[in-house]
Amino acid sequence: MKERLELAATLNRDRELLDRVQRASGVSVKDCYQCGKCSAGCPAAFAMDYTPRQVIRLLQLGMVGEALKSHTIWVCAHCQTCYTRCPKEVDLPRLMEALRQEAKKAGFIAEKNIDIFDRAFLSSVERYGRVHEMGMMIQFNLQSLQPFKDALLAPPMLLNRKLNILPEKIKDGGAVKRIFAKVRAGNQGGDEH
Ligand code: SF4
Ligand code: SF4
């Protein structure tokens, strides 16, 4: 009896998770008919544990936890190749992003450095309206506990003006900050439901 109750609870949780991921991404996983065109064209598939097609298959089978724990959802570069090739217009990049968000909430971050890089990139854009590469890389190196990673590349890049020591701000930085605030407010609203 206890095992049955546990199984029912797991199935319910997986169904709720799948509903949330489908709502957030606008993708219905039933639309995919497993032709594999997405995986065949994906430039990052070589580094994934599950191909994009297999991630959708996991969701179709209700194995949401397995998808959340995968490296694939972090390795996806959101390049849109799969989306443009898909005969059913399944928006895989948005699906991968929704899975990432749920994985973070559940504490499954299979690629910690990619998560750290994402946060460093976004905080730089929020602060200056554009990326300040030098600051972003310093933040990434410190948070990923590899302070001297690629440090020898900095001097020649500075000499060739490929890097700026000081950040440059855009004119209307407030507009970018408002976009971030709006997205945060939207996410909080979504969490409450
Ligand atoms: S290309 Fe589209 S329909 Fe084909 S497997 Fe990928 S997501 Fe599914
Ligand atoms: S968006 Fe992601 S899954 Fe799709 S082709 Fe690009 S890297 Fe692969």
Ligand 2 interacting residues, C-beta cut-off 6 A: 42, 44, 52, 76-82, 92-93, 96
Residue whose Cα lies nearest atom 1 of ligand 2: it is 78
Residue 40 lies in a domain: yes
Residue 57 lies in a domain: yes
Residue 174 lies in a domain: no
Confidence check: pLDDT of 122 > 50: yes
Kind and range of the H or E run holding 27: none
Residues 6 or more apart whose CB falls under 8 angstroms from that of 97 comprise 25, 78
Model confidence at 5, pLDDT cuts 50, 70, 90, reads confident
Residue 63 lies in a domain: yes
Whether residue 162 sits in one domain with residue 101:
no
Which pTM does this prediction carry?
A: 0.85
pLDDT digits (tens, 9 = 90+) for 64-116: 999 999 999 999 999 999 999 999 999 999 999 999 999 999 999 999 999 99
Residue 84 in contact with ligand 1 by CB distance below 6 A: no
Whether residue 100 sits in one domain with residue 144:
no
User: Quick one: which ligand is closest to 73's CA?
Assistant: 2
Whether residue 101 sits in one domain with residue 142:
no
Residue whose Cα lies nearest atom 2 of ligand 2: it is 76
Residue 165 lies in a domain: yes
- Tell me the residue range of the domain where 132 lies: 125-169
Residue 119 in contact with ligand 1 by CB distance below 6 A: no
Long-range contacts of 33-36 (CB under 8 A, 24+ apart): 33/88, 35/87
* Atom number of ligand 2 nearest to Cα 85: 5
Kind and range of the H or E run holding 104: helix 92-106
Whether residue 41 sits in one domain with residue 101:
yes
Whether residue 102 sits in one domain with residue 129:
no
| Whole-number Cα distances in Å, 139 to 13, 108, 145, 161 | 36, 22, 10, 20
Whether residue 97 sits in one domain with residue 32:
yes
Confidence check: pLDDT of 12 > 90: no
Residue 19 lies in a domain: no
* Atom number of ligand 1 nearest to Cα 31: 3
Residue 12 lies in a domain: no
Residue 14 lies in a domain: no
Whether residue 33 sits in one domain with residue 78:
yes
Whether residue 70 sits in one domain with residue 132:
no
The count of structural domains within the chain is 2
Which comes out higher in pLDDT, residue 6 or 145? 145
| Whole-number Cα distances in Å, 172 to 109, 123, 127 | 34, 16, 12
Whether residue 57 sits in one domain with residue 95:
yes
Residue 53 in contact with ligand 1 by CB distance below 6 A: yes
Whether residue 93 sits in one domain with residue 32:
yes
